[in-house]
Amino acid sequence: MARRTGRRPGNPATREAILQASRAAFAERGYDAASIRQIATGAGVDPALVHHYFGTKEQLFLAAVQAPIDPRELIPQVLAGGVDGVGARLVRTFVRVWDSPRGGTAAALLRSAVTNEWTARMLREFVITQILRRAIRELGLEGPDAMLRAGLVASQLLGLATTRYVLKLEPLVSATADQLAAAIGPTVQRYLTGDIGQDG
């Protein structure tokens, strides 16, 4: 009898148990403090099995929050043109992602975060660890105001998402990605690279 090689097919129940344990760990401890070993213990599996199904902790986190985008791919694309004009590119890309079929997942997550503390924690961890930190690092932003700048950008983009996709406020709903990038991009650019009133 021929011996089978390669990975055995994934067990959906095991995969779901790992996802449930990871969501609890990330929500309770945050992304940084949650470990693969803790998640594996919560799921009743060996840590190696977590890596088998999901690879890295970062990949597991993206699966746990059902992220509509992979920031590891998207943010370098947005920042590839350098600092000049990055505010408009960021807004344009953000709107195009939310306007795409993947945007429905993001809108559902945002709606749930407004009323559900657990979802709010997961969304917060996603925004901070996967988007803001990455953007700060890629842009080379340093100093004590780096996280404040990133937080201001997040407030602008999540505010846009709330008004356009949750509240469906016109004329924001009908505006194109280019129109919104032209209107909001300069504000995002200032948050990233301009004066935010922290001197003195």
Confidence check: pLDDT of 6 > 60: no
Angstrom distances, CA of residue 94 to CA of 5, 8, 24, 29, 44: 43, 38, 28, 28, 38
Angstrom distances, CA of residue 82 to CA of 29, 48, 49, 93, 124: 35, 39, 40, 15, 26
Please give the backbone phi and psi of residue 177, each rounded to the nearest 5 degrees, phi first: -60, -40
The model's pLDDT over 80-103, given as tens digits with 9 standing for 90+, comes to: 888 889 999 999 999 998 898 877
How far apart, in whole angstroms, are the C-alpha atoms of residue 158 and residue 139?
20
The model's pLDDT over 113-172, given as tens digits with 9 standing for 90+, comes to: 888 888 888 888 888 888 888 888 888 877 888 889 988 999 999 999 999 999 999 999
The pTM of the full predicted model, rounded to 2 decimals, is: 0.75
How far apart, in whole angstroms, are the C-alpha atoms of residue 155 and residue 45?
38
The pLDDT value given to residue 82: 82
The pLDDT value given to residue 142: 76
Task: Sort residue 8 into left (φ over 0), alpha (ψ -120 to 50) or beta.
Answer: beta
Average pLDDT for residues 56-63, to the nearest whole number?
A: 89
The model's pLDDT over 158-187, given as tens digits with 9 standing for 90+, comes to: 999 999 999 999 999 999 999 999 999 999
**Domains in the chain, CATH or no CATH each:** 12-64 (1.10.10.60), 71-193 (1.10.357.10)
The pLDDT value given to residue 9: 44
Residue 5 confidence class, pLDDT cut points 50, 70, 90: very low
Angstrom distances, CA of residue 98 to CA of 31, 63, 78, 108, 173: 24, 18, 15, 11, 12
Residues 6+ positions from 193 with CB-CB distance below 8 Å: 83, 86
Please give the backbone phi and psi of residue 124, each rounded to the nearest 5 degrees, phi first: -60, -45
Please state at what angle helix 117-125 crosses helix 12-33, rounded to 10 degrees.
Answer: 70
Average pLDDT for residues 12-26, to the nearest whole number?
A: 91
Transcribe 93-139 into DSSP letters.
HHHHHHHSTTHHHHHHHHHHHHH-HHHHHHHHHIIIIIIIHHHHHHH
Mean residue pLDDT of the chain comes to 86
